[in-house]
Amino acid sequence: MTRTITQLFDLKGQTALITGGSRGLGLQMAHALGEAGARVVISSRKATDLEEATAELQAAGIDARWIAADCQHEEDIRRLTSETLQRVGDVDILVNNAGAAWGAPAEDHPLEAWDKVMNLNVRSYFLLSQLIAKGSMIPRKKGSIINTASIAGLGGNPRGMNTIAYNTSKGAVINFTRALAAEWGPHGIRVNAICPGFFPSKMTQGTLKAMGEEQLAAHAPLGRLGDDEDLKGLTVLYASDAGKHITGQWLAVDGGVSVITGG
- Which positions are annotated as active-site residues? 166
To the nearest 10°, report the CA torsion of 101, 102, 104, 105.
-40
DSSP state letters, 208-254: HHHH-HHHHHHHSTT-S---TTTTHHHHHHHHSGGGTT--S-EEEES
Measured CA distances, 93 to 19, 106, 161 (Å): 11, 36, 33
Give the CB-side neighbour count of residue 178, counting CA atoms within 13 A: 7
* Residues near 28 by beta carbon (within 8 Å), at least 6 away in sequence: 228, 229, 231, 232, 235
**Euclidean distance between CA atoms 87 and 77, whole angstroms:** 15
**Euclidean distance between CA atoms 222 and 110, whole angstroms:** 36
**Euclidean distance between CA atoms 197 and 205, whole angstroms:** 13
**Residues comprising the chain, all counted:** 263
Centre a 10 Å sphere on the Cβ of residue 116 and count the other Cβ atoms it contains: 16
